Structures are given as structure tokens and as C-alpha cells.
Amino acid sequence: MWFTILAIVSISGIFLSLYILTSLTNNVSKDVYDNISANYVKNYKNRVLKKEESFQKMLVTLESNKFLIDNIENNELVLINEKITSFNEKFQKNGFQTLNLSFYPVLNQISQYRNSINSVIASKAKAFGIEVLQEGIFYIYLEPIMKDEIVVGILELKEEVHNFKTEYLRDDLIFLFALEERMLNKLSIKARNGKYKELIDTLHVEELKYDGPFTAKILEAGKEDFKKMIDNGYSVDDTYFRSAQKVSDIDGNVIGIIVFGETVAGSSAFVNIVHNMTKTVTTVALGLVISILLFMF
């Protein structure tokens, strides 16, 4: 009887110790994953800030171009368009394929402008952010050109959001932009039809511009895993670590989600170390339980 009681107490102690060990390991893993996810978001915000600063510097340079500004002030649209075209040709020649400069005249305005441009005209203040336009999804910078405290025109510098994918790849990271379904109608038929596919629920991705295996793994994991990733800030499996961030446009409306990620298998990243540590502790704990039970009985 004493042996039975001792055995029960011993086994209970072993299970309790293993439970505490496993719980502590899982808690450490969660803290690490939370930290990595937070760093993803911080890294993204820093990249966006650098993008804004870069656009601002380019527009400051353009505003120092006397020929361009004089013609804007005098509403010489033909000469303005010729100069804008020459700038865009230089962007193309220097490898900035999706960077584009546009001008919106305010004097003798003959067409309706979108909300973001009208807001800049009304506020006389610059604006920066994401916007879904007919030709795609862009980071845009709008700069009002003033004469005698009156807005005479708007310079717009824009670049495709998808360009961030290349920046992330250089750091062995993955960037995926998923657009809300209700925003698809803002794209032109040419920019939309046959190019976007459903990711999860109302989210769609431009198929050719994003990592196939990464997108496929999200689809394989399913809606519940995606929801957990949004709620918890991250998800991890044997292939990828993923984190997500909701994205608002220049008017403050949520238009989609950015999913960040990196590979786990074969990686020397901290994600892989933690992932392996969790699996190892679980395996060792299970092995110890089986070994002790076999020894006692």
C-alpha cells in the first residue's frame, strides 16, 4: 500500500514538474514570438517613414526647378506636362519602374479630382499614405504648390506598394499585401480582372506579384489559423513564421492586411531556434514520462 501511495505521489510530482516545464517553455516561446511580431510591425512603419522622407526630398528638389514652378504658377499646362514626362522617363531609365510623377492643375480646373487631392487643395497641407487607384495600389505623396497663399496646383509622387516585396526579399523576409474585396472596384478592369485571387474570406492578393508557397501555406492553414494570427499577432508552423498588420489608406479607411513572414526550416533565425526548443522540450518531456512509467511498472 505504501508503495502504491509513493508511486502515485511520485508520478503526480513528475507530471506536475513536466507540466510546469512545458508551460514555462511555451510562455517563453510566446514572449519571443510576440516580440518578433512587434519588430515586424516596427520595421514596416520605419520603412514607410523612410519612403515618405524619400518622396519629400524628391519633391523638394522638384520645387527648386524654376522652369517647372514658373509654368505651374502661370498655368502653362503643355510645358508642365512635357517637363513631367521628362522626369518620368528619367525614373524609368534609372530603374524606378513604378515611380511616377503627376500634376493636377487647380487654376481653371476642368475635371473632378479624387478625395485625397481635394483634401490637400482645401487644407493647403501635404499628404502621404496608401491609396487604391485605377492602375493599382500606391504609396502617394501630395504636395500643394502655392502662389500668394493660393493653391495653384498639386504635385503627386507615387510608387506601387508591391515594391516593398523586393526590399523585404533583400532581408530574407516575406511581404504580402492582401486587399479587401470592396476595394477591388476601385481598380480598373485591366488592373483587376484575372489578376487577383481570394486569399481568406474578403481578402484578395495579386497572384503574380507574391510568393506562391507562402500564399499557398496560408490557404492550407485555413480561416481559423488566419483569424488566430490576426487576434494573436502571429502564427507559426513547420514552414513559416507569419505576422499581420491591418492597413488604412490616406483617408483612414482600412483597405487590407499586410502579412509579413520568414521561413523556419533551415533558417538560423531566432524563430527557428525557439521553434526547435519548444519541440525538443515537448519530445523530451514525453520521453521521460514513458521511460519512468516503464521503469516503475
Domains of the chain: 1-48+270-297 (no CATH), 65-161 (3.30.450.20), 172-263 (no CATH)
What are 112-141's pLDDT values in tens digits? 899 999 999 999 999 999 999 999 999 999
pTM reported for the whole predicted model:
0.79
Q: Which of 72-76, 120-124, 165-169, 237-241 is least confident?
A: 237-241
- pLDDT bin (cut points 50, 70, 90) of residue 297 is low
Residue-level pLDDT at 287: 54
Residue-level pLDDT at 99: 92
Does pLDDT of 80 surpass 80?
yes
Work out whether the CA dihedral 25, 30, 33, 34 comes out positive or negative.
Answer: negative
234-236/203-206 β-pairing? unpaired
Residue-level pLDDT at 59: 92
Does pLDDT of 50 surpass 70?
yes
Does pLDDT of 191 surpass 70?
yes
What are 162-174's pLDDT values in tens digits? 889 888 988 889 9
Cα–Cα distance for residue pair 266/249, rounded to 1 Å? 37
- φ, ψ of residue 63 to 5 degrees: the values are -70, -20
Cα–Cα distance for residue pair 206/239, rounded to 1 Å? 22
174-180/203-206 β-pairing? antiparallel
Q: What mean pLDDT is predicted for residues 57-67? A: 90
Q: Which residue has the higher pLDDT, 269 or 156?
A: 156
Q: What average pLDDT is seen over the chain? A: 82
Q: What mean pLDDT is predicted for residues 172-200? A: 91
Residue-level pLDDT at 101: 95
